[in-house]
Structure formats: C-alpha cells, structure tokens
C-alpha cells in the first residue's frame, strides 16, 4: 500500500474547489412570525409583514398567521431550486430533522420482530439494554395496553418518545418468566456499522459496511475492528455503497482511524475557508491496514468526504462506480415555536488534495469520485445486492449467536454474488502476497 503522505495541494482545485459534503449544524430557537409582524429592518421585511397581516385579516376564508408564515417560507425555499434545501413542517418533522442533523436517535433502542412483538435484540449501549431487556423477550403490554393484535406501527409509536420520558413494558421471557421494566428513553446508538465479516480468514481479509454517519459510528467502527482483530485482521474492504452521508463530525472521526492525522476536508462558505476538519492522530488505530473502499452512484456526502481523504493520502484505493457527487454542506435551523425548520445549502467542501466533488449545482462538472478499480455490475446483480444490503439485518456481535438461535431465518439469508467485492478482495490478496 502506498505511503500515506499528502500530495501537493492543487491551487486551482482549491480556488475552484468550492465543493462539499457533510452537515454543519446550527439550531436556532426563535419565533419568526412576531419579528415580521413587528416590522422588519428592511423594506422587504416590512412588505412581507404587511402581506401576511393583510391576508390574515382580509382573505375570504380565515387563515392562521402560522399557516401563512409556513407557506411564505415554503415559497422562498422553492424559489431557490436547490435539491439540498428544504422546508420541514410540524413537530414530527422537527424531531426527524434533529435526529438527522445530530445522528442521535431518541427512544429505547430495540430491534423488534413486528409480527410477534418480539425483541430481536436490544441496541448495545441503549436504554433498553440498560433496563435488562434481552433477545427473545416478547412485549406483552406497553404502558398497560396489551400488544396482542396491535398494528406494528402503533406498537412502535407507543414505544417511541422523547428523551427523558419513560415507558413501562410487560415482557415474557423465552424461559416463560414474566417481568415488568420501566425504560427511560434516551439517545440510542444507531447501528450504522453492519455486515462485519471475515471474507478470507486465512489471509485476514475482512469487510464491513457503514450505512451512514451518526454520532455512534466511530465507536461502532472501533468495536468492529477490535472484533475482527481477534480473527487476524490484516486488510479491509470498507463498503460505503448506498451510504448517502449523515453527520460530518463522525465521518471525519472515521477517516482518522485510517490516517495519521492531517486535514480531512475544508469547508468553504461564500468563497471563504470557513472551517478545516482534521484527523486526530491519536485515533489512527487502523492506519497500517491495506484498505479498498467500495463506492457506487448512491455513495454521497460524508461517504465521499471519507473516501476522498483516504485516497488523497494514499490510504485506500476506490473500487466500484463513480460516486454521486454531493459536494455541498447544509446548516439546519429549527424555529420551534413556529413548528418548522429549514435545512439549506451553506457552503462547499474540498478534499485534502483540492478535489472537487459537487456535480449537481454546476452542470459543467462531472462531480463525484472516479474509482481506481472500475467495476460495473450487471443491473440484475446490482438490484439483488442492493435489496440484500438494505434488507439484511446484522445482529450486534455480542448477541449474534443467541439471535440466530431465536431467529434462524436471519442467518439463512446469504450474501448474493458481488463482483465489486470480488475485485476488491483480489486486489488485497495481491497486496498481501509475500515479496
């Protein structure tokens, strides 16, 4: 594997290289409506306030000021014609926005078999595990309401809730024991590191998939690498196919595992370098591993940040297809009293070597990352693999044996043919051959 040193920065790439991916997050807590009605600082703000007041008072059918405010903001967002900028309405939308922006889910952290209201496994480190919930437990009642015959969506909604609130579960153990537990809802690890597997135990070649980047991803990766190390890990296939991004900070921390410090990405806003994200050299636990990163046309944002940095430093080869090319980052503002939020494009991102990723704002630019090992799988093969990757459930290592005993159907579903993975493994075998 090539030495992991940074090539000379390309000045033209940085000058042009306003290109990004990530998620700079800012949360604003204020009520926009009263500001408009008080009168803005500019003629445009005063006009907008006057229009809102006129329609609220004079339109033929009554319209609430908040409804008018939401429609006005929606119109502004639509007028930008930006596929990455959007308006989020209502409490449920704001909750989903918060989860997306922070990479933190809130709940109790269980994976359920909805047909049987049975716990497949509690998420390691989550509230349910802390309360003693185990694989195979059947949820008999939620807050005193029996689950027999309950619609799966209704069951999920009864269990979910904001952090700090509690839910009372009546459980039936596989042993026949009945017990009741109170689970305090909180932050839930999201389970973003999946399909952890030794592909060639003799040579020590393994693979793992990162489905998105959330707050828990770096620790999940550390746990997976530690588990693989006990089986003789010597080389890794890092699968970022179908990874559309997530939160920038954990993507940078993930890159740090494979680097010995250095810049991972630079964020540019309105032509200025707004922020530089660096790898923490103390986190370089896998910096000596030969790595091949798998990409496809749905690898975007944070996955391109990671892949671009690893290639720029010579820490990995890229295999598969050209990535999506999302080279802009978003900021998030939540106007909670008015029950809406905005997620909008705030700037661009460049890789350490000045590479441009964005390919959808400027039609003249191809965007994305071109693979070093290009592999175009037939459509039917790609479809079968996509369905498997998105559907297949991979139990946490600590519960895997027990889960497969309880739910043998999860173990029987094998990985379909994967020509991209085969090319990556062949390359790593060649790298590991003794000189």
Instruction: Note the pLDDT of residue 3.
Output: 43
| CATH at residue 362 | 3.90.226.10
CB 403 within 8 A of CB 393: no
CA–CA–CA angle 195, 134, 227 (5° rounding):
35
Confidence of residue 204 (pLDDT cuts 50, 70, 90): very high
Q: Is residue 230 part of a domain?
A: yes
Number of domain units in the chain: 3
pLDDT exceeds cutoff 50 at 135: yes
End-to-end CA distance of the chain: 13
Instruction: Note the pLDDT of residue 384.
Output: 87
Mean pLDDT of 253-265: 97
Most confidently predicted of 59-68, 179-188, 286-295: 286-295
Lowest mean pLDDT, pick from 32-41, 276-285, 378-387, 389-398: 32-41
Instruction: Label the pairing between strands 166-172 and 105-107.
Output: unpaired
Mean pLDDT of 189-210: 92
Lowest mean pLDDT, pick from 100-114, 128-142, 312-326: 100-114
Instruction: Note the pLDDT of residue 59.
Output: 93
Q: What does the alpha-carbon distance between residue 35 and residue 337 come to, in Å, rounded to a whole number? A: 13
> What percent of the chain stands above pLDDT 70?
86
Instruction: Note the pLDDT of residue 94.
Output: 67
Q: What does the alpha-carbon distance between residue 428 and residue 415 come to, in Å, rounded to a whole number? A: 20
For residue 132, the enclosing domain spans 105-188
Mean pLDDT of 214-239: 94
| CATH at residue 130 | 2.30.42.10
Residues 184, 122 within the same domain: yes
Q: Is 409 helix (H, G, I), strand (E, B) or coil?
A: helix
Phi first, then psi: give them for residue 105, nearest 5 degrees. Answer: -95, 155
Q: Is residue 398 part of a domain?
A: yes
Mean pLDDT of 301-305: 95
Distances (CA, A) of 327 to 86, 245, 304, 351, 364: 17, 11, 8, 10, 14
Instruction: Note the pLDDT of residue 104.
Output: 63
Residues 245, 368 within the same domain: yes
Q: What does the alpha-carbon distance between residue 307 and residue 29 come to, in Å, rounded to a whole number? A: 35
Better-scored residue on pLDDT, 271 or 215: 215
Better-scored residue on pLDDT, 106 or 312: 312
Confidence of residue 226 (pLDDT cuts 50, 70, 90): very high
Q: What does the alpha-carbon distance between residue 54 and residue 420 come to, in Å, rounded to a whole number? A: 61
User: pLDDT digits over 56-76, tens only?
Assistant: 999 999 999 999 999 999 999
pLDDT exceeds cutoff 50 at 137: yes
Confidence of residue 231 (pLDDT cuts 50, 70, 90): very high
Residues 234, 307 within the same domain: yes
| pTM, entire model | 0.76
Residues 363, 269 within the same domain: yes
pLDDT exceeds cutoff 70 at 214: yes
Residues 268, 178 within the same domain: no
3-state secondary structure 167-188: EEEEEECCCCCEEEEEEECEEE
Instruction: Note the pLDDT of residue 100.
Output: 62
- Write out the two tokens for 62: 């009554």
For the chain, the average pLDDT equals 85
Mean pLDDT of 373-377: 92
User: pLDDT digits over 20-43, tens only?
Assistant: 333 333 333 333 444 444 444 789
- Of 168, 188, 208, which closes a domain? 188
- Of 102, 119, 145, which closes a domain? 102
Instruction: Note the pLDDT of residue 27.
Output: 37
User: pLDDT digits over 88-125, tens only?
Assistant: 887 777 677 666 655 567 789 999 986 789 999 998 88
Most confidently predicted of 15-29, 245-259, 262-276: 245-259
Q: Is 399 helix (H, G, I), strand (E, B) or coil?
A: helix
Q: Is residue 341 part of a domain?
A: no
Lowest mean pLDDT, pick from 7-21, 186-200, 334-348, 353-367: 7-21
- Of 85, 102, 119, which closes a domain? 102
Residues 197, 222 within the same domain: yes
Residues 215, 184 within the same domain: no
Residues 314, 418 within the same domain: yes
Q: Is residue 94 part of a domain?
A: yes
pLDDT exceeds cutoff 90 at 15: no
CB 360 within 8 A of CB 83: yes
Instruction: Note the pLDDT of residue 83.
Output: 86
Instruction: Note the pLDDT of residue 34.
Output: 45
pLDDT exceeds cutoff 90 at 363: no
Instruction: Note the pLDDT of residue 129.
Output: 95
Instruction: Note the pLDDT of residue 207.
Output: 97
pLDDT exceeds cutoff 90 at 320: yes
Q: Is 207 helix (H, G, I), strand (E, B) or coil?
A: strand
């Amino acid at each position: 594997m090539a030495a992991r040193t940074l090539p000379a920065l390309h000045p033209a790439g940085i000058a042009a290289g306003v290109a990004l991916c990530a998620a700079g997050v800012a949360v604003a807590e204020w009520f926009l409506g009263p500001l408009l009605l008080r009168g803005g600082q500019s003629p445009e703000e005063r006009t907008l306030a006057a229009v809102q007041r006129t329609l609220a008072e004079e339109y033929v059918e009554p319209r609430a000021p908040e409804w008018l405010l939401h429609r006005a903001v929606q119109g502004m967002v639509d007028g930008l014609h930006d596929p990455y900028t959007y308006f989020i309405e209502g409490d449920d939308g704001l909750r989903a926005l918060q989860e997306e922006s922070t990479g933190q889910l809130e709940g109790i952290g269980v994976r359920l078999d909805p047909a049987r209201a049975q716990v497949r496994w509690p998420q390691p480190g989550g509230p349910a595990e802390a309360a003693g919930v185990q694989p195979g437990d059947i949820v008999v009642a939620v807050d005193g309401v029996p689950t027999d015959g309950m619609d799966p969506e209704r069951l999920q909604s009864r269990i979910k809730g904001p952090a700090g609130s509690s839910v009372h579960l009546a459980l039936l153990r596989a042993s026949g024991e009945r017990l009741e537990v109170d689970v305090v809802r909180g932050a839930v690890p999201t389970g973003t590191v999946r399909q952890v597997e030794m592909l060639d135990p003799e040579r020590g070649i393994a693979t793992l998939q990162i489905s998105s980047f959330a707050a828990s991803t770096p620790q999940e990766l550390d746990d997976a690498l530690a588990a693989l190390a006990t089986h003789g890990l010597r080389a890794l296939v890092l699968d970022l196919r179908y990874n559309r991004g997530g939160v920038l900070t954990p993507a940078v921390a993930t890159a740090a595992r494979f680097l010995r410090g250095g810049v991972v990405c630079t964020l540019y806003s309105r032509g200025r370098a707004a922020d530089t994200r660096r790898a923490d050299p103390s986190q370089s636990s896998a910096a000596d591993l030969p790595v091949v990163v798998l990409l496809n046309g749905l690898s975007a944002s944070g996955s391109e940040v990671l892949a671009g940095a690893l290639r720029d430093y010579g820490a990995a080869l890229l295999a598969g297809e050209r990535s999506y090319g999302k080279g802009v980052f978003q900021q998030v503002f939540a106007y909670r009293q008015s029950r809406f939020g905005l997620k909008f494009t705030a700037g661009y991102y460049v890789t350490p070597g000045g590479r441009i990723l964005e390919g959808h704002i400027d039609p003249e630019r191809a965007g994305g990352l071109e693979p070093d090992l290009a592999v175009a799988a037939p459509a039917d093969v790609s479809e079968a693999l996509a369905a498997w990757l998105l559907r297949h459930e991979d139990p946490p290592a600590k519960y895997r044996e027990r889960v497969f005993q309880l739910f043998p159907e999860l173990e029987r579903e094998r990985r379909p043919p994967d020509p991209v993975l085969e090319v990556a493994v062949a390359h790593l075998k060649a790298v590991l051959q003794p000189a």
